[in-house]
Amino acid sequence: MSPDLVISFGQRALEIALLLSAPVLIATFLVGLVISILQSATQIQEMTLSYIPKIVAAYVTILVLGAWMLNKLLDYTKELIINIPSWLR
């Protein structure tokens, strides 16, 4: 197994990880930003106030995009397993 092949494995794995985590991270970031703006506007400085909306946003995002995320992960896994014989040469 060549070093280039190992680097491409790692690069593809990082791309898939970023692709799968981005929707959840973006949703929680946006919810956190909105909550922070509301806290600033109302002068409520409670740190724990944003946790529940962020958790709900992450849960809803996974619920909505979970099938797509699973399909991406399964496609990547299938690609890896199918190509094993060609990499062992």
Domain limits, the chain: 3-87
For the entire predicted model, the pTM comes to 0.82
Phi, psi of 39 (to 5 degrees): -65, -40
Mean pLDDT for the stretch of residues 33-52: 87
DSSP state, residue 84: H
In degrees, to the nearest 5, what angle opens at C-alpha 23 toward C-alphas 21 and 27? 120
Amino acid in position 62:
I
Question: Do the beta carbons of residue 72 and residue 20 sit within 8 Å?
Answer: yes
Q: Say whether pLDDT at 47 is over 90.
A: no
Q: What integer pLDDT is reported at residue 70 of this predicted model?
A: 96
Mean pLDDT for the stretch of residues 38-67: 90
CA 40 to each of CA 10, 37, 69: distance values in angstroms, whole numbers, following the listed order: 42, 5, 35
